[in-house]
Amino acid sequence: MLLQLKNIFKWVNTGGQRIFLLKDINLEVEEGEFISIMGPSGSGKSTLLNVIGMLDTFDEGEYHFLDESVHTLKEKYRSNLYKEYIGFVFQSYHLLDDLTVAENLEMPLLYKKVKGSERKALVADILDRFNIVGKKDLFPSQLSGGQQQLVGVARALIASPKLILADEPTGNLNSQQSEEIMELFKKLNKENGVTIIQVTHSEKNAAYGSRIINLLDGRKV
């Protein structure tokens, strides 16, 4: 088992009232799964994804990732954990505008303290795999949305994570670009065994996954 959420609650207090963002979420994810999280706006999809990605905290419940109990870990160990095992893909790509494609790809490796020569090899490798060698010296603003997201996925993959978390990865893309990205995910899942959890609005994209989780007002339905 890759990760397990047990009775996760997350809430905020506004004006004396407690508003639940996540309510009693239980979830088990096996390695190699491809899960789509669906639900209307404000149902807690992104919050759940952020909790899984350890970017966000929760107020109650247990979270086990591999053999670690995330809820008992200190911030520093948590960041080591996700640095090691999780890659993120965002709706608005979130590439660093001031860095070239190659430099953006190199960034996660820098934070993992990978050696220089190895970094170069890994970057070259992934550029090759994603067919974007010709774009390596361009800045994000010089790329189309689809190309940017391609770089985003490549960046998420470069450190060979076990899990990829994608928050509406195709939300800003047209249908053709969407399809390419989703095909890419499928391929990664099938051929490389990467576990993928994506948040999506689209039934079509959700269909790529092996399992669909529906959320409504912070609850699994």
**Interaxial angle between packed helices 116-129 and 145-158, expressed in degrees from 0 to 180 and rounded to the nearest 10:** 140
Nearer to other proteins, 55 or 73 (CB): 55
- Stretch of 14-22, 30-38, 76-84, 198-206 lying at the interface with other proteins (CB under 8 A): 76-84
Which CB atom, from 82 or from 208, has the smaller least distance to other proteins?
82
65 binds other proteins (CB under 8 A): no
141 near other proteins, rule: CB under 8 A: no
Least distance in angstroms from the C-beta of 86 to other proteins: 9
- Applying CB under 8 A, does 111 fall inside the site for other proteins? yes
Residue 79 CB, nearest approach to other proteins (Å): 6
| Minimum CB distance to other proteins, residue 176 (Å) | 26
Q: Which of 12, 19, 96, 121 binds other proteins (CB under 8 A)?
A: 96
Cβ proximity to other proteins: between 106 and 206 the closer is: 106
Q: Is 19 in the site for other proteins (CB under 8 A)?
A: no
Nearer to other proteins, 146 or 152 (CB): 152
Query: What are the backbone dihedrals phi and psi of residue 53, each rounded to the nearest 5 degrees, phi first?
Result: -80, 0
Q: Tell me how far, at minimum, the Cβ of 93 lies from other proteins, in Å.
A: 10
73 counts as binding other proteins under rule CB under 8 A = no
Check if the beta carbon of residue 130 is closer than 8 Å to that of residue 150.
yes
Burial 73-110 (b: 16+ CB within 10 A, else e): beeeebeebbbebbbbbbbebebeeeebbbbbbbbbbe
Choose which of 39, 108, 146, 209 interacts with other proteins (CB under 8 A). 108
Is position 185 an interface residue for other proteins (rule: CB under 8 A)? no
Cβ-based nearer residue to other proteins, 96 or 121 = 96
Distance CA 151, CA 82 (A): 20
- Positions in the binding site for other proteins (CB under 8 A): 46, 50, 53, 55-56, 76, 79-80, 82-83, 88, 90, 94-96, 98-99, 103, 106-108, 110-113, 155
